[in-house]
Structure 1
Amino acid sequence: MNDAKENILATLAYFDIFKYPLTGGEIYLFLKNRYNQFDFELALKYLVASQAVYQFGNFYTLKNDHSLIVRRYNGNKKAAELIKVAGKVGDMLIKFPYVRGIAISGSLSKNFADENSDIDLFIITAKNRLWIARTLMHIFKKLTFLVNKQDYFCMNYYIDEEQLEIKEKTIYTAIEVVTLIPLQGDTVIEQFYAANSWTRTFLPNKIMRLSSAKPLNPSLFKIVIEKLFNNPLGNAIDTALMKITDGRWNKKTAQKKVNSKGAVMAMDTGKHYAKPDPGNFQAKLLAQYESRISQILVEPQNLLAN
């Protein structure tokens, strides 16, 4: 099997885990190598002709299942609605002290949502003030339960300006980074992209864009509150809040408390980051991806041999 065919199958295998068919253009963007358009289109046509890949209109998938196309269509429609809501949420959350950038993450950043989808948000805070910002935002989130709007405020992943580079460098983290939809903080988002240029090793065709990010425009409230904590006392409070939060989450994990999706609750924390880690999700997904690749590259050898 030539390299282009393998790359196409591997790309479809990743999104197949999420039952998400891709267009030809999307497949090309998520390939791990560069190809000229003619070679790419030829390889894709060959895979379809050999029934290693199935085509339904503009979409391609590893499964001969048209319901996946219907699912994607409905998911894209729902996502368009939620992305508009996310924009309004971002306008609100950027007003919190020490928040410097906000982007949509998770399935919504891939333009998919269903009736169970949340608005997952990626938050960048000022240096050494992540835990003050996070605590204030999560106090606010507690109040959203009173009006049943908690699903709009899933502030899941935090980093600060001191550590913009994502340390885990895998196909999973690369796709998560490049598919973020920036909402607020064009300058810090641009710095974040520069710090994570390593994603081009995995996705050389995908260019990260800032088109939707608004410039930071601090309110008087934000400026005043930040001045109150821009001192050694603020440093101590931030560190104390990190330790308190870490202790509470370790207790939840030890007690095997589960989230709304049935996974044991866990969070990976540090001075400059806070991220969910339910059931070691990333490791399991990558193992599933590698297994899927092995399976699809072995099965069609008789069809794809040159």
Structure 2
Amino acid sequence: MPVYPEQSIIKVLAYFDIFNYPLTQEEIYNFLDKPLEMEVVMATLFQLVEDKRIFLLGRFFSLQADTALCTRRIIGNHKAETMLKTAYRVGGFLYQFPFVRGVGISGSLSKNFAGHDTDIDFFIITRANRLWIARTLMHLFKKLTFITGHQHLYCMNYYIDEEAMLIREQNIFTATELVTLLPVCGNGTMSRFYGQNNWTTHFFPNQQPGRQSMLLSRPGFVKRSAEWLLNNRLGNALDELLMRITARRWKKKEQLCRTNDHGVRMGLCTGKHFAKPNPAFFQRSVLGSLEKKLAEQMNIEYRMSNVEGRVK
């Protein structure tokens, strides 16, 4: 079956163009959906630039001929360097909550970018059947951070437990989030998580997740004590109760069409072993935008081929 490197490259640029984020040639190579040689990627990139299908902005490639995107990215990368130091400290702190078994940095910060209103997003893995106790305790703490205005440092928006580490929605959005996830603490749990989600190689054969270094953190006295106290039928019942209460609250938010500070529709999918953003909202919006951009690129390619045919 023939391989068309330009299509793979356009697909990568189209995805990140949704976020107005130009890429280096190394980043494009890492996110290709086909295992191409770097020499082929470089040659194809510069041919696409020559054909004016993509644009070279400094050392970045983009579908848009807008040099402001280059400046925006450089500023965002520098800001991310500072925020990541805070994120790793906060992630280490979050690991000390009862029943937390793994912490990772997600969102735009995991892609080394921070805007003026970027939150620090965290991906959390908990002990099996204790997700809702862990999540409730962490979100009660977050309520307190509103008093000091530090709530944007503690956005714990995706939870799974050790019985449900396989991500069910397997598409380019979830694959991108997974391979860019920055592990903070886990003591083995994060490695098992990556092992169960090696399906990402189908989307990105040139990239493997979980290569970043991870802090090893010993559980503190409070964490060990709370886990000991709730390692029984009381803990089982409390976890079930908290799940039902949270599910009811979020169902009401969805019915009222609530949005977050960034204007994104709020929604939470809940189950015994997971609490995650409703993919019907932001995730589906991104996938829809990607489909539209790829269709536009196909139209451009079709028009160019027609022009070339008439010239010949």
TM-score normalised over the length of structure 1: 0.96
Please show how residues 66-77 of structure 1 align to structure 2 within 5 Å.
Answer: 66-77=67-78
Structure 1 CA distance for aligned equivalents of residues 303 and 120 of structure 2: 44
Distance 2:233 2:148 in 1: 37
Separation of aligned partners in 1, 2:158 and 2:35: 31
User: After the TM superposition, which residues 1-306 of structure 1 pair with which residues of structure 2 at under 5 Å, given as runs?
Assistant: 3-277=4-278, 280-301=281-302, 303=304
Instruction: For 2:212 and 2:37, locate their aligned partners in 1 and report how far apart those are by CA, in whole Å.
Output: 26
Distance across 2 between alignment mates of 1:57 and 1:294: 27
What is the Cα deviation at residue 265 of structure 1? 2.0
- The structure whose RCO (Cα within 8 Å, separation 6+) is larger is 1
Task: Output one character per residue of 1:63-113: Cα deviation in whole Å (capped at 9) or x when no partner.
Answer: 111000000001101111110110110121111100111111011111111
Alpha-carbon distance in structure 2 between the residues aligned to 1:82 and 1:153 = 12
SS of equivalent residue, structure 1 residue 22: coil
Is contact 2:105–2:123 with CA below 8 Å preserved after alignment? yes
SS at match of 1:71: helix
Aligned-residue RMSD, C-alpha: 1.6
Q: How many residues align?
A: 306
Spell out, residue by residue over 1:37-70, the C-alpha distance to the aligned partner (whole angstroms, 9 max, x if none).
2222111111011111101221100011100000
Are the counterparts in 2 of residues 6 and 297 from structure 1 also a CA contact under 8 Å?
Answer: no
* 8 Å Cα contact 2:126/2:161 also seen in 1: yes
Distance (Å, rounded) in 2 between the aligned partners of 1:107 and 1:231? 39
Distance (Å, rounded) in 2 between the aligned partners of 1:124 and 1:293: 34
Cα pair 1:100 1:216 within 8 Å, conserved: no
Residues 244-287 of structure 1: CA deviation (Å, up to 9, x unaligned): 00001111111222221223321111111111238611112111
Equivalent residues of 1:101, 1:188 under 8 A apart: yes
TM superposition shift of 1:236: 1.0
**Helix, strand or coil at the partner of 2:102:** strand
Secondary structure of the residue aligned to 2:260 is coil
Cα offset for 1:2? 6.0
Look up the equivalent residue of 2:230 and give its one-letter code. F
Q: Deviations over 1:10-57 (max 9, x none)?
A: 100000000000000000000000111222211111101111110122
1:95–1:219 Cα contact (<8 Å) kept = yes
Alpha-carbon separation, structure 2, partners of 1:57 and 1:255: 45
Could you tell me the TM-score, scaled by structure 2's length? 0.94
Distance 2:61 2:119 in 1: 26
Spell out, residue by residue over 1:136-159, the C-alpha distance to the aligned partner (whole angstroms, 9 max, x if none).
000000000111100000001001
> How far does residue 300 in structure 1 lie from its aligned partner after superposition?
2.7
Residue pair 1:144, 1:150 contacting (<8 A) in 2 also: yes
Q: CA deviation at 1:186?
A: 4.0
Partner amino acid, structure 1, of 2:209: M
Moved more, 52-61 or 251-260: 251-260
* Alignment check: 8 A CA contact 1:186 1:210 kept: no
Unaligned runs of 5+ in 1: none
Query: For the residues of structure 1 that align with 2:107 and 2:259, how far apart are their CA atoms?
Result: 19
How much has 1:218 moved relative to structure 2?
1.1
* CA–CA distance in structure 1, aligned partners of residues 279 and 75 of structure 2: 27
Q: Which runs of 4+ in 1 moved over 6 A?
A: none
Aligned partners of 1:11 and 1:31 also within 8 Å: yes
Instruction: Indicate how the Cα distance of structure 1 residues 251 and 302 shifts in structure 2: closer, same or farther if over 3 A, else same.
Output: closer
